[in-house]
Amino acid sequence: MKISSILDISGCRNKLSAANRKEAIEIMASLLSENIASGNETNDTLLAGMLKREELGSTGMGNGIAIPHCRLEGMKSFALALSVCDRGIAWDSIDGRSVHIICAIAGPVDETDEHLRLLAGAARVLSNSKARYELINSRTDFAMREAFLYHLSPVTSKHSKNSRKKLLLMVLQEEKTYNDVMELFLEMGIEGAMTVNSDMMGPMLSNVPIFAGFMDVLGRSRPEPRLLLTLIPEEEVDNTVSAVEEITGDLDNHRGACIIMLDTVSIRGSLETL
């Protein structure tokens, strides 16, 4: 699905003004209803759907971002709306900060996988500090929309199940990087990634009596690394690594993350979640 086709310029507002979360969601519902993808859904229906989702837990994800969303029986396709608020809006966010950027998503009830990928894509873009800066400093609705789409662009389409696969092994020492990569994989349509909690060499040696007293024999921190395994179509290896480096930076110059690609002789079965 092309995000550009469901994020219409009519659903973008560069200068949104709202006194509180409910009023902001009302405006986002109105923007969604103007999108042709919303079909015949009314403001009230979209508003009710997003408020019902909000009752399950705040969609304020921290860093000044909120992604209100809903799934509706009457929706035939997805619609997105995007706005920036100069004055922060109290949203009961996980970090307690006010919200300045809102991305609203509405879609069909039976399109769960695509809905999750859109949520992951929006979260990945808006978690990028450079993207947030460009969105907040955009002078027009068009510039804001283009900035959002630009930072979304590195993501590839859903992988083919019939192509030759490579085994990707990735070690990530930082929890935030791990969370961002998992969101990226969800957005890319990688449905079978497995993670294993691990230990690094330095902290383990620090527990050996002869090395007692050292904070970390081979480093200064005590990371909580995870080993991630998944299968990647051979033709998507370069794109996948490039997308990961959008999160980590150049892996050849970055400590705390490593990717290893291995050839597979034979694969039977699937890593996809039951």
pLDDT at 157: 46
Residue 9 token pair: 């310029």
Cα–Cα distance measured from residue 60 to residue 81, given in angstroms and rounded to the nearest whole number: 16
Residue 156 token pair: 């590839």
Does the pTM surpass 0.85? The reply is: no
Cα–Cα distance measured from residue 237 to residue 248, given in angstroms and rounded to the nearest whole number: 16
Q: At what angle do helices 237-248 and 175-188 cross, to 10 degrees?
A: 140
At the topology level of CATH, where does 165-263 sit?
Answer: Alpha-Beta Plaits (3.30.70)
pLDDT at 1: 59
For the chain, the structural domain boundaries read: 3-152, 165-263
Give the count of beta carbons closer than 10 Å to the beta carbon of residue 162. Answer: 7
Over the Cα atoms of the chain, what is R_g?
21
pLDDT at 150: 87
pLDDT at 50: 94
Residue 72 token pair: 């509706």
Question: pLDDT below 50 — which residues of the chain?
Answer: 156-159, 215, 217
pLDDT at 208: 55
What is the CATH architecture assignment of 3-152? 3-Layer(aba) Sandwich (3.40)
